[in-house]
Amino acid sequence: MYVECFTNNGKPYLRLVQSVRVTNQAGKKIPQKQVVFNIGPLDRFDDGLPGYVERLKKSFKAGTPLIPALEPYCQNPNPAQDYHFSIKEGSPDCFGHPKIFSHVLLERILEELGLNTFFSSYKGFTKLQYDVYGFAKLLLFGRLLNPASKSATIRQNEDYYEPVLGPHNPDNVFDTLDFLFANKDKIIRRINTNLVKKARRSPEIIYYDVTNFYFEIGAPDEDVLDEEGNVIEKGLRKKGVCKEERKLPIVQMGLFMDDEGIPVAIETFPGNTLDHLTLRKSLENNIDGMAFARFILIADRGICNYPNLIRVSDAGNGYIVSKSLLKSTKKEQEWTYREEGYLSVSKDFKYKSRIVKKTVKDENGNKRTIEEKVVVYWSRKFQARAEQENKKFLDFLKKLEEHPENFRITAVQSKSLRKFFKKECVNEKTGEILDSSKIRAFVDFDKVAEYKKSLGYYQIVTSELTMDAQEVIEKYHGLTQIEDQFRVMKSDLETRPLYVSTPEHVTAHLLICMIALILMRIIQKRIRDSGSVAIDPDAYWSSGLNAGRIQAALNKWKVDLLPGDLYRFMDADDPDLKLILDAFGIRLPPKLYRRAELKHIKTEIKVFM
């Protein structure tokens, strides 16, 4: 076998061929060329140094090909190479300076998502004088590998094997945030277009949830008013219901995610925006322009009221959402608790369903009659978890009922008890307790009993009338995975606290975090799809390696320059790092590497199969 360079439509290509003898029509054996492996276009591998093709041919014959993909075809390779170099005491070479190499994988993913061409074209169109893509890459690499402030992230430039930025003005990082904000929707669409084309994204399910991130500032943003006191522009950093129970200004973020757990889009809202008021704007600004086929939206009960669900249905899509059992009608609760109609999967799980008609109002206040399937189930595991999570409060209620004279009720306990108060003890206009000294007498223990009875039961409603009830339950449970992605953003990616201040920079920061999460999820998906790990049903999307372990492994993938322009990889045998490399088909034989070989590692990475 030998390497051959040939021309196709005027472009040079490389291939591996061998000579075989075949019998022609006259019965004579003649030599014939047979293609063993199509390597690819020459310009994909050429390192720019003189005589690349000849050097490639010689390296293949020697059993150490410049292109790693040729190694399996090497015959009778030479014995392992001995390396000879010396380091003199006092030489700067006595000190090692390992550089991060994992950014080559992240950069290949960005290229496959089309962001390199997007930034290049827009830089030319807008005639930007700075390297906007270089700054964006640094922000993305830093957010995934070593989260820090924007200025500190730019100072990480020299930490990489090849600095991402050349000579630059660090202040341009804030210009980059402005660029990201101005082109947010275009960037999200470019990513989606390439995921559709290359990763065959066509989600049957789209999850939606809302979280918030806090700012360590004293006062919220003021609204901008006109001369008559009308709101022209709402402030973004507002006091609201913080998911982490911090009394600080927050910003709300809505996140869409596909059925592979890969983010689709984000939308930002002032911190005092109620969750259910975010959905329609998020759909309009993001999903409506994606040209997806029909999908089923899955969200929790705090987001989906019927005006939102009618909006989803009118667009030709479906929905699966949870519905509060305690806020349902008496008839709905009685049907839920009645044993009749339940199908038992085991002694620990049962479910039933029915199709109902109901009259609801759309976003314009018009009455509409709809049909939907109601699915209820009881789970012993779900009940035990709910009882454990509420154990202190349930024990308190029991003591209050049996021995109310033994202790005082704190302000915090009073707040928790509010939903169990009898109507006559609360001012309906202000919500104020009419006589706090008699608070124990005002507790409606029938409501308490109803609350205890509901533990373990769950109610889901869906537009999918023909979908099997168990499938409805299974699909809804995938929503818990989006909550895991929020945890990744808040912990591993350190999305909060936010230190940027303008609405534009806040949105740009969250966009960076979303794209970093996409990179993380693509890596996790490749590991999961590689067949090298067992699928954990409780952590399906992150089976194999969680975000923290991936982050740690990628930080270990470094390369160190030795005398003689030789490079060695650091910790390439780390089990977690090896799992990532194997998932992307990156083979690192135990040897020292030349710069040209390092370049080929990136070109050989296949992001999507």
Long-range contact pairs involving 502-505 (C-beta distance under 8 Å, separation at least 24): 503/236, 503/268, 504/177, 504/178, 504/181, 504/182, 505/174, 505/177, 505/178, 505/181
Neighbour-count burial for 412-445, b at 16+ CB within 10 Å, e otherwise: ebeeebeebbeeebeeeeeeebeeeeebeebbbe
Kindly indicate the confidence band of residue 195, based on its pLDDT and cuts at 50, 70 and 90. very high
pLDDT at site 435: 47
Q: CB–CB of 154/173 below 8 Å?
A: yes
Residue 369: per-residue pLDDT: 95
- Where are the strands (E) in 226-363, listed by range? 231-233, 250-258, 263-270, 296-299, 318-322, 343-346, 349-361
Indicate the DSSP class of residue 408. P
| Closest to 556 in 3D by CA, of 144, 103, 102 | 102
Query: Is the entire prediction scored with pTM above 0.85?
Result: no
Q: Which domains does the chain have, with CATH numbers?
A: 2-73 (no CATH), 186-384+457-498 (3.90.350.10), 391-454 (no CATH)
- pLDDT over 70 (residue 92): yes
In contact, 103 and 141? CB cutoff 8 Å: yes
Longest CA–CA separation in the chain, Å: 112
Sequence-distant contacts of 44-53: CB under 8 A, at least 24 apart? 44/603, 45/14, 45/600, 45/603, 47/595, 47/596, 47/599, 47/600, 49/596, 53/3, 53/5, 53/14
Residues 125-180 have pLDDT tens digits of: 788 889 999 999 999 999 999 999 999 999 999 999 999 999 999 999 999 999 99
Q: How far apart are the first and last CA of the chain?
A: 28
Mean pLDDT of 335-348: 93
Report CA-CA distances (Å) from 201 to 193, 287, 307, 349, 353. 9, 14, 28, 34, 31
Q: Which of 60-74, 328-342, 421-435, 587-601 is predicted with the least confidence, judged by mean pLDDT? A: 421-435
Q: How do residues 14-63 score in pLDDT, each as one tens digit? A: 998 887 777 777 777 777 788 888 898 898 888 888 889 998 988 888 88
Nearest to 566 by CA among 215, 236, 172, 82: 82
Q: Which of 39, 108, 42 is nearest to 601 (CA)?
A: 108
Mean pLDDT of the chain: 87
* Band of pLDDT at residue 436, cut at 50, 70 and 90: very low
In 3D, which of 509, 507, 555 has the Cα closest to residue 173? 509
pLDDT digits (tens, 9 = 90+) for 93-110: 899 999 999 999 999 999
What tens digit of pLDDT does each residue of 289-316 get?
888 889 999 999 888 889 999 999 999 9
| Percent of the chain at pLDDT exceeding 90 | 50
Structure tokens belonging to residue 367: 């009455």
Angle between helices 184-198 and 503-529 (to 10 degrees): 10
Three-class SS state of 572: coil
Nearest to 609 by CA among 531, 496, 537: 531
Three-state DSSP at 23 gives strand
Residue 185 CA to residue 113 CA, distance in Å, equals: 14
